[in-house]
Amino acid sequence: MGGSLAGAEVLTVAEEREGQRLDNFLLRECKKTPRDLLYRLIRSGQVRINGRRAKPDSRVASGDRLRLPPVLCGLQKERAARNTVRAEKAARADSEFAPLPVLFEENGFLAVEKPAGLAVHGGSGIAFGVIERLRQKRGDRFLELVHRLDRETSGALLLATKPSALRAAQKLWRERKVEKTYRAALFGEWQKKHRRIALPLRRVRQKDGARMAAVDAAGAEAVTVSRLLSQKRGAAFVRAQILTGRTHQLRAHFAAAGLPIVGDRKYGDFAQNRALARAAPALRRMFLHAERLAFSLPGGGDVIVESPPPPEFAELEEQFN
């Protein structure tokens, strides 16, 4: 029982979406559409590929022309209007941050140096983030985040400029074949050169909806290994690797070990944070920095991204001398 296609619009499938299932393609294009409505429209023949009826699991090809019924067109227009507003906000706010330095671009990957205070993507009251800024400036046909960093964490952030690179990286992340190294400044006294923290973490939601990690025997495995770089009066500067990738892993692990990250407003020592902010306002940030990412691609070749700690780490050391 095919419905009327009056007022329908045509959407052409881009090369990078080749081979995707029709239902997944449309769920991404029309994110506000309820899933059950989308399947109903496909099965009733109101969504067509090159003029022919299709099934939800039909594969789209580059250049295919999809006819969308008015209900989906309206949602698409609404989405486009939201994106326009977001782009305008990003353009107005662009002067808040310097251009993002490119650390690496090769083999379908792009790595940039994210400053502390800039979110990786918009949402939850944030008008724009790294991904929106880069899409607006570069105009890449395909650009997706490979992983994420907390808003207050600075350092190396990896994105994919090809679907094949994204799939390869996601597989390596799932299989824990990525070396992830961080620099951190901690309040307290580090007792030995090397330290291993193996405390399971469980994700919890605060009353305001914010995500946090709590040490819990029923939580997921989480392992952090760290090495002391320098000990100052009341602060330790360390290099850390996460052998698992849990939400806020370093922040929760160091706090549980009695060595909270300097400037951490969720897990930190709030009194010491306030005292440091009064003494050195220019150092008001969380001192966690993604220093290095390294992995080997299945087909050969290595991806190594390095981001030296920003100057405020050295300035903080001087503050604790």
CATH number of the domain enclosing 232: 3.30.2350.10
The answer to whether 267 touches 252, Cβ cutoff 8 Å, is yes
104 and 77 in a single domain? The answer is no
Tell me how many domains the chain contains.
2
Of 86, 114, 129, the one marking the end of a domain is 86
Q: Would you say 237 and 318 are in contact if contact means Cβ atoms under 8 Å apart?
A: no
Q: Is residue 288 part of a domain?
A: yes
Note the pLDDT of residue 3.
Answer: 37
Q: Are 19 and 61 in contact (CB under 8 A)?
A: yes
Q: Do residues 179 and 294 make contact, with C-beta atoms less than 8 angstroms apart?
A: yes
Structural domain includes residue 3: no
Q: How many CA atoms lie within 13 A of 229 on its CB side?
A: 14
In the three-class reduction of DSSP (H, G, I as helix; E, B as strand; rest coil), residue 196 is classed as strand
User: What does DSSP say about strands 52-53 and 235-242: parallel, antiparallel, or unpaired?
Assistant: unpaired
Q: Is 272 domain-assigned?
A: yes
Residue 207: how many other CB atoms lie within 10 Å: 5
Residue 311, helix vs strand vs coil? helix
Res 137: pLDDT: 84
| CA–CA dist 195, 227 (Å, integer) | 6
Q: Which residue has the tokens 């698992």?
A: 244
CA-based radius of gyration for the chain: 23
Euclidean distance between CA atoms 135 and 86, whole angstroms: 12
Give start and end residues of each alpha helix (H) in 175-225.
Answer: none
pLDDT at site 87? 56
Check whether residue 108 and residue 138 sit in a common domain.
yes
- Residues 78, 38, single domain; the answer is yes
Of 56, 86, 116, which closes a domain? 86
Sign of the C-alpha dihedral, residues 129, 271, 262, 194? negative
- Say if residue 235 is in the same domain as residue 283: yes
Helices (H) and strands (E) in the chain, counts: 8, 16
- Indicate if 105 and 220 belong to the same structural domain: yes
Could you tell me if 75 and 28 lie in one domain? yes
Q: Is 36 a catalytic residue?
A: no
pLDDT for the residue numbered 1 = 33
Buried-state track 269-308, b at ≥16 Cβ within 10 A, e below 16: beebbeebeeeeeebebbbbbbbbbebeeeeeeebebebe
Phi, psi of 303 (to 5 degrees): -115, 120
76 and 103 assigned to the same domain? no
For CA atoms 181, 183, 184, 190, the dihedral sign is: positive
Is 229 inside any structural domain? Answer: yes
Of 103, 30, 104, 31, give the one whose Cα is nearest residue 72: 30
- For the chain, residues with pLDDT lower than 70 are 1-8, 72-98, 123-127, 208
Domain around 292: 97-319
From 38, 124, 122, 23, select the one nearest 75 (Cα to Cα): 38
Identify the pLDDT of residue 16: 75
pLDDT of residue 206: 78
Write the single-letter amino acid at 143: L
pLDDT at 5: 43
The DSSP code sequence of 23-52 is HHHHHHHTTTS-HHHHHHHHHTT-SEETTE
Q: Is residue 72 located within the same domain as residue 169? A: no
Question: Of the listed 64, 150, 264, 269, which one is catalytic?
Answer: 150
The reported pLDDT for the residue numbered 187 is: 97
Residues paired with residue 181 on neighbouring β-strands, in sequence order? 241, 292
- CA trace torsion 67, 70, 72, 73 (10° rounding): 80
Q: Is residue 91 one of the residues assigned to a domain? A: no
Claim to verify: residue 174 and residue 70 sit in the same structural domain: no
Number of other residues whose CB lies within 10 A of the CB of residue 131: 18
